[in-house]
Amino acid sequence: DTEVTQTPKHLVMGMTNKKSLKCEQHMGHRAMYWYKQKAKKPPELMFVYSYEKLSINESVPSRFSPECPNSSLLNLHLHALQPEDSALYLCASKLTGLSYEQYFGPGTRLTVT
Amino acid sequence: GQQVMQIPQYQHVQEGEDFTTYCNSSTTLSNIQWYKQRPGGHPVFLIQLVKSGEVKKQKRLTFQFGEAKKNSSLHITATQTTDVGTYFCAGPLEKGGSEKLVFGKGTKLTVNP
């Protein structure tokens, strides 16, 4: 199984809502990522988990809260978002170490109204 | 900080023409990775180069890693409409224990049939 799954595919939420994005992989990867991607831009790193511990937080606003409940799951909790947070949110995973590629999920297309 | 620069930003070709995108890092890389993102899709890993001067081929795609391990290129021979997408190069952040990939801004390829 070489797949990273993400749910939901699309999400529309108001600025006062609370929602969560989910990501799952069963490849035994112990590094998991959240990226934000705006149109015509490269993926922008938000968070990295390594062995279920948060290892990188790229100064992301606290309205985004990541969680790694176990080695296969990664969540991104969203609260009080702004319209400028509308983007494609990508999850990725890889084996730990410098020499391994990332496997990306299909993403969640988020619209904040 | 470590930067990865990629040119050109956009390239439009006629089907059958060749295409090349170039990637330059501000620091020496242990490896460089290439990803392709189709319109509406997510980044998909293409290849990883590790050795100085390495050249790898995948059908009509040729990937090169420079002797100094600071630059790389992707060349597509005789483009087809299936080659349409954005090509990203990425290198690992060369800081101990980091699982971060530094992405170039990407080259968007469009192919006129």
pLDDT in tens, A62-77: 999 999 999 999 999 9
- Judged by CB atoms closer than 8 Å, whether chains meet at A104 and B101 is answered as no
Contact B30/A at CB under 8 A: yes
Whether residue B99 is predicted with pLDDT greater than 90 in this model: the reply is no
Which pLDDT score is estimated for B93?
84
User: According to the model, what pLDDT value does residue B96 have?
Assistant: 60
Among candidates A43, A103, A105 on the partner chain, residue whose Cβ is nearest the Cβ of B45: A103
Question: Which of A41, A48, A88 is facing B100, going by the closest CB pair?
Answer: A48
Beta strands in chain A (DSSP E): 4-7, 10-13, 18-25, 31-37, 44-50, 53-57, 64-70, 73-79, 87-94, 103-104, 108-112
Q: A92 falls in which pLDDT band (50, 70, 90)? A: very high
The whole-angstrom distance between A32's CA and the closest CA on chain B is 9
The reported pLDDT for the residue numbered A1 is 66
**Closest chain A residue to B105, measured at CA:** A42
* pLDDT tens per residue, range A19-39: 999 999 999 999 999 999 999
Question: What value does the mean pLDDT take over residues B69-82?
Answer: 98
Nearest to B89 by CA among A111, A113, A109, A42: A42
Interface check B51 vs A, CB under 8 A: no
Rounded to whole angstroms, the Cα distance separating A6 from A23 reads 4
A47 pLDDT band, cuts 50/70/90, is very high
What's residue A96's pLDDT? 86
